[in-house]
Amino acid sequence: MIFFYLLISVMPLSSHPLWGKLVGELTVVKYLGGACLLFATAHMLGSQRLPRLASSPQTRWFLLLAAWTSVSFVLNGDLQNWQLSPFASYLSFVLLLFLTTVFIDSFERLRNVLLVSVASVALASLYIVREWQRVHLLYAEYRPGSVTGDPNYFSISALVCLPLAFCLGVGSRSLLVRAFCLGSLLVTLAALTLAASRGGLLGLLTAMLYLALRSRRPLRGLVLLLVIAVPVGLFSRATPLRRLLNPNYSDRQSTDSRLTLWRAGLRMVADSPLFGIGLGRYKSVVMQYESSGEDVTKIAHNSYVELAAEAGIPALIAFLAILIYAFRSLERVRRAALSRGLNMLRDSALGLQAGLAACAVSLFFVSGQYQKLLWLVVFLSAAMTALAAQRLRPVPPAREMRLLQEVRL
């Protein structure tokens, strides 16, 4: 299990010099994934229980999405470089689904995975802050994020775990867990501000509003979130709020290029609505779909447009269904846990819901559909549903007390 925790801890560090280093033909993190696969297989054989990968609507839709995008890649993709393509990402997500289904078989392991997820983003945030410290004196509006691949990609990982850190930090009875989660929350907020993603800001506001509305006292909850979030925005001139309200020339140019890319993407969808232009080919063919005078060669900066353009409308429908069913599953878990007084389970489900809602908004402005922590949350929603179904059924009073002690922090 320790290898699985380590794998989660480095998920946001997609461009880390150690974990991304090639050893032979594979990177170090792929060897780590292989070790996790071996131990998961041994655990499965020892428990004599086959993993139910399609036990929930969101995982069934995910398997459909993986299959559909694979067909798109085979039909129109770059088969010679498949190791560096989104097709390889979907293979890794299938592996992650298997690992999550096998390993998350108790509330203790669920709690540990959630805390490690929070820690992974906090670790990435420290890299972001340190990078900003080293460069901002040379370039005041510098946006750090190289170790995470891109500041916009970091924003997706941060949005997944920020609400979770808040909910666990506020709701936990353990002073150690509370201090850890709230400390991680502050450093991640600082890094998210320095990354200055406008889509990240809109996602953060969505998460804050959702958490405030879900609290017993919505106004007090919103004030508390603002008290935590607003002072962090004073760290840097390149804040997302400044970029949104007072954009400079570079910001305006970025907005114009996004609109150009989105229009081109919609033309791709109209041209190939079923299987798309081919998984991973958006950037290489986008100029063929731009109007006269437009000259932008980039990814779509919109997960929904990019997915529909590359793999067709059915792929977009599957992706939306995944997000919707994951959110609904977490809502059922939250309500069941609330009725039974299971604090950790309730707070975890609420935090993951807010993270999903934040990502759903931010993905309109970021091509972040390949961020591993986002898919981990989707698969955790299925694992939490399975655990809740096993543990929240009527039980004798004595056993119920033991279960309550197990899942409360």
The model's pLDDT over 352-371, given as tens digits with 9 standing for 90+, comes to 999 999 999 999 888 888 99
Give the model's confidence band at 404: pLDDT under 50 very low, under 70 low, under 90 confident, else very high: very low
Structure-token match 């080293």, residue found: 134
Alpha carbon 207 to chain centroid, angstroms = 13
DSSP 155-187: HHHHHHHHHHHHHHHHH-S-HHHHHHHHHHHHH
pLDDT-wise least confident of 2-11, 192-201, 230-239:
230-239
Total domains, the chain: 1
Side-chain half-sphere CA neighbours of 314 within 13 A: 15
3 state SS of 22: strand
Position with higher pLDDT, 400 vs 178: 178
Average pLDDT over residues 166-179: 85
Structure-token match 């069941």, residue found: 336
291 in a structural domain? no
Task: Note the pLDDT tens digit of each residue in 132-154.
Answer: 888 766 776 677 778 888 888 88
Percent of the chain at pLDDT above 70? 83
Average pLDDT over residues 49-76: 88
* Long-range contacts at 133-136 (CB < 8 A, ≥ 24 apart): 136/236
288 in a structural domain? no
pLDDT-wise least confident of 121-125, 200-204, 266-270:
200-204
What does each C-alpha distance from 129 to 120, 151, 169, 334 come to in angstroms?
Answer: 14, 12, 22, 34
Average pLDDT over residues 5-27: 82
Average pLDDT over residues 189-208: 83
403 pLDDT more than 50: no
For residue 387, the enclosing domain spans: 2-246+305-407
Q: What is the model's pLDDT at position 248?
A: 59
Most confident option among 24-33, 40-49, 160-169? 160-169
380 pLDDT more than 50: yes
Q: What is the model's pLDDT at position 407?
A: 47
Q: What is the model's pLDDT at position 242?
A: 57
279 in a structural domain? no
341 membership: H or E segment, kind and range: none
Task: Note the pLDDT tens digit of each residue in 319-329.
Answer: 999 999 999 99
Tell me which amino acid residue 279 is.
L
What does residue 315 show for φ and ψ, rounded to 5 degrees? -65, -40
What does residue 147 show for φ and ψ, rounded to 5 degrees? -70, -20
127 in a structural domain? yes
Gyration radius of the chain over CA positions: 21
Position with higher pLDDT, 62 vs 43: 62
138 in a structural domain? yes
3 state SS of 25: coil
Q: Kindly state the tokens that stand for 371.
A: 């961020």
Structure-token match 């004595």, residue found: 398
358 in a structural domain? yes
Average pLDDT over the chain, rounded to an integer: 81
Give the model's confidence band at 390: pLDDT under 50 very low, under 70 low, under 90 confident, else very high: confident
Task: Note the pLDDT tens digit of each residue in 218-276.
Answer: 666 566 666 655 555 555 455 555 555 555 556 566 666 778 787 888 888 888 899 88
Average pLDDT over residues 289-316: 82
281 in a structural domain? no
Question: For the chain, what's the residue count?
Answer: 409
366 in a structural domain? yes
Question: 394: alpha, beta or left, given left = phi > 0 and alpha = psi -120 to 50?
Answer: beta
